[in-house]
Amino acid sequence: MQIVSCPSCGAEVKFRSHASVMAVCEYCSTRVLKDADAVKDLGKMSSVLEDYSPIQIGTSGVLGGRAFNVIGRIQLRYAAGMWNEWYLLFDDGATSWLGDSSGLYTVTTARDTQPPLPAFDELEPGGMVRVGSERMMVSEVRTADCTGGQGELPFKVAEGWQAKVADFRRGSSFVTLDYSDGPEPVVYTGVSVTLEAMQCQLLREDEQIERSAGRYRGKLSALDCPSCGGPINYLPGQTANLLCPSCNAQIDAASPKAQVLAAGERVDRVPTTLSLGAEANLNKQRYRILGVMVREDDEGTRWTEYLLYGARSGFSWLVETDEGWWRAGVMPEWPAWEQTGADTVMLDKIMYEKLYDYGATVIYAAGAFNWRVQVGDHVRVFEFQRGQTRLAAELSTEELIWSRSTPVAADQIKAWFGVAVRGKARRAQATEKGRYGSAAKKFIMVMLAVNAIPMLLNFGGTLVFNLLGALAIFLPALFLDSIDKGDKS
């Protein structure tokens, strides 16, 4: 360890790692550059925003049997929110980065990789590129601004410093290419981690976070919309992107002082079967609807997605479509997909076949979300099916996300939400109601079309038989539908 005096205030500034180039003075926020044996004053660093993270400089842990300490941090902001990169120093002198994005953690370590490496400008989520010897799919491309820093860092960073990074996946392994320093990227390999598994010590306690942030992380909190004053429920530190249910203002609650990003545009409130804030008991756990989103495909078919949060299991989705209800969750591990648009994917040695491929646009959103949602957001969706399970890849210009969903009976939704599912639930059943009749109609159309050919050639008695046949199919269908109606009213 090397200890220097801050050129601005004289306080001790420690350099624990040989790889560190600069450090931010704990007392006066001066950026101290370590240059050979001299130190230089690089001017002040803006202090980090309170973001509810439990990690702090000094937090320690163990990864793969090696002990580490957190010695530095940069805070970054991009279109969808904010995240931290914590600089780790291992006892053996090696360094890594601990990415901390709304409670999801990854550790990435620089490694030597032989070319070819792709150029930043040619990267598009969903594209396949060669990273050294491996062929990988681009999962995320983003440019972020550094908004603050703390402790020791291996490069000079200041406000306005921009990070240009892209993530690549192959199954459960991922690689990050960092283009911040120029066209030749630095290659990092990454693993997903949890703070528990790394036996992290000296984390900030909930009370400590509450004192500096004014709110508890992970406990539902309400803020008054800065635009209209209406109440909005959200999870501090986890759902920073809010859309006011009353005035549609877009609010960033990433720091304790909520900011209005965009005034609300006049959007008619879309009635939904389940309402924002509705609570449910699922598998002995309490869940709450934090966000509601209505999306539409290229043909104008609409469906509703509800963002659920449970204290123990985190985020999941309920999706209400014309086909019924689905429970969905984002997949941490991706299925293997040869390339975007390929007709099959493999997950755990099981093959799923492509079902649909469509565009989806957000036409209404309200509440709190763990990423930035806006009316007009457009993604391309590729859906795959095997038995009752569906896997979907959602591709936007920034990222590719995989989710898995399984069907849920409408009665189950009623049981979970109790009184919350009222008359409006009929919307979901509306298409179900006429299912026998419409199936029968389709069958009759096909039958008539097939029979139309001989009928045209030999017009006569066959027509009567056809009509009788059609009635024989259609009447029982109507009868079944009327039983259905009886069941549900």
The residue among 24 and 146 lying less far from Zn ion, judged by its C-beta, is 24
Q: Which two tokens stand for residue 420?
A: 């919350």
Give burial (CB, 10 Å; 0-12/13-18/19+) of 373. Answer: buried
Query: Among residues 249 and 360, whose Cβ is nearest to Zn ion?
Result: 249
Taking each helix axis as running N to C, give the angle between helix 426-433 and helix 410-417, from 0 to 180 degrees, rounded to the nearest 10: 170
Which amino acid is it at 267? V
> In the bound complex, what is the minimum distance in angstroms from residue 89's beta carbon to Zn ion?
21
The least distance separating Zn ion from the CB of residue 21, rounded to whole angstroms, comes to: 17
Beta carbon nearer to Zn ion, 95 or 233: 233
- Burial category of 471 from C-beta neighbours within 10 Å (exposed 0-12, middle 13-18, buried 19 and up): exposed
Spatial CA neighbour of 6 closest among 22, 17, 400, 19: 22
CB of 11 to Zn ion, least distance (A): 5
Comparing CB distances to Zn ion, the nearer of 45 and 400 is 45
How crowded is the C-beta side of 317, counted as CA atoms within 13 Å?
Answer: 22
Residue 77 CB, nearest approach to Zn ion (Å): 23
How far is the C-alpha of 71 from the C-alpha of 352, rounded, in Å? 45
* Shortest Cβ 364–Zn ion spacing (Å): 15
Q: Which residues bind Zn ion (CB under 5 A)?
A: 6, 8-9, 11, 25, 27-28, 30, 225, 227-228, 230, 244, 246-247, 249
The least distance separating Zn ion from the CB of residue 224, rounded to whole angstroms, comes to: 9
User: Closest separation between CB of residue 152 and Zn ion, Å?
Assistant: 14
Cβ pair 319, 328 in contact under 8 A:
yes
Q: Which of residues 232 and 318 has its CB atom nearest to Zn ion in the complex?
A: 232
Helices and strands (H, E) in the chain, number of each type: 5, 30
Which phi and psi angles does 479 have, rounded to 5°? -60, -45
Decide whether 60 or 246 has the Cβ nearer to Zn ion: 246
Q: Output 11 or 104, the one with its CB closest to Zn ion.
A: 11
Query: Nearest 5°: CA angle at 87, between 237 and 89?
Result: 135
Instruction: In whole angstroms, give the CA distance from residue 279 to residue 416.
Output: 8
Shortest distance (Å) from residue 450 CB to Zn ion = 58
Question: Tokens 């601004």 appear where?
Answer: 145
User: Is residue 407 reached through a cis peptide bond, with omega within 30 degrees of 0 on the bond before it?
Assistant: no
Residue 354 gets which letter from DSSP? E
The distance of closest approach from Cβ of residue 485 to Zn ion in the complex, given in angstroms and rounded to an integer, is: 41
Q: Is 253 helix (H, G, I), strand (E, B) or coil?
A: coil
Rounded CA separation 367/377 (Å):
16
E strand map for 91-133: 95-101, 104-110, 128-131
In the complex with Zn ion, the residue whose CB is nearer, 8 or 139, is 8
Which of residues 23 and 308 has its CB atom nearest to Zn ion in the complex? 23
